[in-house]
Amino acid sequence: MKATLKKSERLSSKKVIGSLFDKGSENTKSVFLYPFRVSYFLQELSNENTEPTLPQMLISVSKRYFKHAVDRNLVKRRTREAYRLNKSILLQKKDSPLPASIAFVYIGKKIEDFAKIEKSMKSILHKM
């Protein structure tokens, strides 16, 4: 599997984003592991679709804690890279359905180094 992050893997639908952040939704599942809070939907299993499709993802960093855009972009780049390198973990699990959409919300109040972000990303992908 190539370790790329295509445009088709990025979440841009406002309707799906709104439903991911809907608090009362029973379809949305959530995982918390510092420095991320992750919300996701599971794909419906269908027999005709033999090839699993990779989930669409979105990264959100609060403007409240990171006033400068360069800081928010740094956190997003580190998160995107950690996801790109470790997304194969999702495909290794054969018994459970893949997430259809994932939202990573960075809740840390300081910029973590890449090693911490990647370790957290691996744990989150194993939990999903």
* pTM assigned to the model: 0.89
Average pLDDT for the chain: 89
Q: What is the pLDDT along the chain (128 residues), one digit of tens a residue?
A: 678 888 999 999 999 999 888 877 788 899 999 999 999 998 776 555 556 678 999 999 999 999 999 999 999 999 999 999 999 998 887 777 888 999 999 999 999 999 999 999 999 999 98
Taking alpha carbons only, the member of 110, 118, 39, 109 closest to residue 78 is 118
13: part of which helix (H) or strand (E)?
Answer: none
pLDDT digits (tens, 9 = 90+) for 79-101: 999 999 999 998 887 777 888 99
Tokens, residue 43? 């794909």
Those residues with Cβ within 8 angstroms of residue 103's Cβ, 6 or more apart along the chain or in another chain: 11, 17, 20, 21, 38, 39, 40, 57, 58, 59, 60
HSE-CB for 125 with a 13 A CA cutoff: 22
